[in-house]
Chain A
């Protein structure tokens, strides 16, 4: 199993991409772009996303993992991140995968905030057949509140100074004002155009109940499958980075669904 790692451009931004060529002979059936979460969640889920990409490639799909601008290896400082730029990043990643692999049909897999970005970008740009959403952020304001609570719990517990006079600071990352405002305005239940033809929604924790999103997608005539797959709380901040948590059940279910329905 191998993949190609490179930088590609989106305007002035430089984004890191990893292209997993499909296994087997012949032209790839279709392609999948993996839209990652951000902040500490991305650092913790990097390995899982690589394994997911490998599973999708084994299923004969061309896959592109990438880092959103101002995250991971991509250009930009954390505090410069913008939701608008991230939505354009998703579109640029789809174009990059098409150019690299020659596929026409491209589906999206989005995780947590990456799920919200995948859905919003798909609704904006169209042309996405399959959309797999793993614990997607449906309500941006609630997501920010959840991060603030985790941050407060970290300040209370970890060996750090407790005083926090910097609103931008959340769990080791700087979140600029424009970014927080834009995330706070995210509401997937307010999507007016359909993002895709079919969707898999994975809910790993009751705290991320996805019933309302499923209903909303169904109203937009999306063929939706909801999977409740309990998994370790990989999104939680922990000081100890030495344990790997890979929610394999979710990875397998996602790869199986896309393998069956196509991109």
Chain B
């Protein structure tokens, strides 16, 4: 398969790796853009983006792994635009580049952690995006205009996470063992857990409608959303809190997949394969994959 270095954006400063789609595999398939996972350069944690891109290219998708301004090999933008805005601008430049170069006009944006928020914000901003895959992403259902309320929400998310991990997760035994060995700050954890039982009022009020509004904006355009979370990831609790309050159900358009017994960056090899398989399958079905049953379709096996 053909891979090449691509440069675009202001002064051609954005560096990316372009994976050409395997010829004839899936004509008309949307191109996939992978946004940096946190501060990791375009290869992704454990080189996961390279594996994912090669799998999707073999399946017939053009894939672009890019370093947004200030990360990896792309120099920082010289204007004063905040990072989250410049990153969205970089993804939009990437779409324009692929449109001009290859004639692709439909895109799916994806990313792990903060890359998922960049992917989501880009989908909101640009009508060329037809699908978005936030992976272990947090706060992407909110804009960052209500810092006080978001701080309260983050506290509640952390508390829910600690309760879930200690009582209901695959890691509950490990979690208690770590507490007994004092590998974690038990006092701090306990305090977080009990404070989280009594959410502050701004959490309940201030941000309540925003996720619905942002999701609706995408759904009205027909954009498909695949959320993927690791069982061990704190942001799964963020998504659960938002989804429950707003009545976001697992459906064709907004889908949730959980990779059990996996961590934030998919360190275990089998969990990497599981993630790649989920994204590839969702794309293969055009984002129309229906949940197997119930309100959540969680992956149940390794």
B75 near A1: Cβ-Cβ < 8 Å: yes
A2/B41 contact (C-beta < 8 A), A160-B262, A160-B267, A241-B265 known: no
CB-defined contacts of B47 to chain A, threshold 8 Å: 43, 71-72, 78, 173
Report the interface size class on chain B. 35 or more
Chain A 126-144, CB within 8 Å of chain B: the 1/0 string? 0000000000000000000
CB-defined contacts of A161 to chain B, threshold 8 Å: 170, 261, 268, 302
A-contacting 9-mer, from B228-236, B246-254, B287-295: B228-236
A73 near B50: Cβ-Cβ < 8 Å: yes
A62 CB to nearest B CB, Å? 17
A199 within 8 A of B: no
A3 within 8 A of B: yes
A37 CB to nearest B CB, Å? 13
Chain B residues numbered 136-162 whose CB sits less than 8 Å from any CB in chain A: none
B232 near A18: Cβ-Cβ < 8 Å: no
CB-defined contacts of B178 to chain A, threshold 8 Å: 157
Chain A 1-45, CB within 8 Å of chain B: the 1/0 string? 111011100000010101000000000000000000000100100
B174 within 8 A of A: yes
Chain A 243-256, CB within 8 Å of chain B: the 1/0 string? 11000000000000
- Identify whether the interface residues of B are mostly helix, strand, loop, or mixed: loop
The docked-state distance in angstroms from the alpha carbon of A173 to that of B275 is 15
CB-defined contacts of B4 to chain A, threshold 8 Å: 7
Chain B residues numbered 224-277 whose CB sits less than 8 Å from any CB in chain A: 230-233, 261-269, 271-272
B3 within 8 A of A: yes
A169 near B3: Cβ-Cβ < 8 Å: no
A-contacting 9-mer, from B32-40, B100-108, B122-130, B193-201: B32-40
Contacting residue for A241 out of B38, B230, B268, CB 8 A: B38
A207 within 8 A of B: no
Taking CB as reference atom, which chain A residue is nearest B230?
A159
B7 within 8 A of A: yes
Chain B 21-59, CB within 8 Å of chain A: the 1/0 string? 000000000000000011111110111001100000000
A216 CB to nearest B CB, Å? 33
A2 near B75: Cβ-Cβ < 8 Å: yes
How many chain A residues touch B (CB < 8 A): the figure is 41
A6 near B269: Cβ-Cβ < 8 Å: no
CB-defined contacts of B39 to chain A, threshold 8 Å: 47, 241-244
A43 near B43: Cβ-Cβ < 8 Å: yes
B117 CB to nearest A CB, Å? 13
B45 near A172: Cβ-Cβ < 8 Å: yes
A43 CB to nearest B CB, Å? 6
A159/B262 contact (C-beta < 8 A), A43-B43, A172-B46, A239-B267 known: yes
B46 near A43: Cβ-Cβ < 8 Å: yes
B134 CB to nearest A CB, Å? 16
Contacting residue for A166 out of B40, B114, B267, B269, CB 8 A: B269
B65 CB to nearest A CB, Å? 8
A154 within 8 A of B: yes
CB-defined contacts of A172 to chain B, threshold 8 Å: 45-46, 265-269, 272
A73 near B269: Cβ-Cβ < 8 Å: no
Taking CB as reference atom, which chain A residue is nearest B1?
A75
A91 CB to nearest B CB, Å? 22
Chain A residues numbered 42-75 whose CB sits less than 8 Å from any CB in chain B: 43, 46-47, 50, 71-73, 75
The docked-state distance in angstroms from the alpha carbon of A158 to that of B261 is 10
B202 within 8 A of A: no
The docked-state distance in angstroms from the alpha carbon of A156 to that of B267 is 13
The docked-state distance in angstroms from the alpha carbon of A18 to that of B74 is 12
A192 within 8 A of B: no
B46 near A73: Cβ-Cβ < 8 Å: no
B165 within 8 A of A: yes
CB-defined contacts of B132 to chain A, threshold 8 Å: none
B167 within 8 A of A: no
A96 CB to nearest B CB, Å? 14
A158/B263 contact (C-beta < 8 A), A50-B73, A244-B39 known: yes
A18/B73 contact (C-beta < 8 A), A5-B7, A43-B43, A239-B263 known: yes
A103 within 8 A of B: no
B15 within 8 A of A: yes
B181 CB to nearest A CB, Å? 10
A159/B232 contact (C-beta < 8 A), A1-B75, A172-B269 known: yes
Can you sample 9 A-B contacts with CB below 8 Å?
A: A3-B73, A5-B5, A73-B17, A158-B232, A168-B269, A172-B268, A242-B38, A242-B39, A242-B113
Name 19 extra pairs, CB < 8 A, besides A18-B73, A241-B40.
A1-B75, A3-B73, A5-B7, A7-B4, A16-B5, A40-B46, A43-B41, A47-B39, A47-B41, A73-B3, A78-B47, A156-B174, A157-B178, A159-B231, A160-B263, A166-B269, A172-B266, A173-B47, A239-B264
**Which residues on A are within 8 Å of B, measured CB to CB?**
1-3, 5-7, 14, 16, 18, 40, 43, 46-47, 50, 71-73, 75, 77-78, 154, 156-162, 166, 168-169, 171-174, 239-244
In the A-B complex, the 3 residue pairs with the closest CB atoms: A159-B232, A172-B46, A161-B261
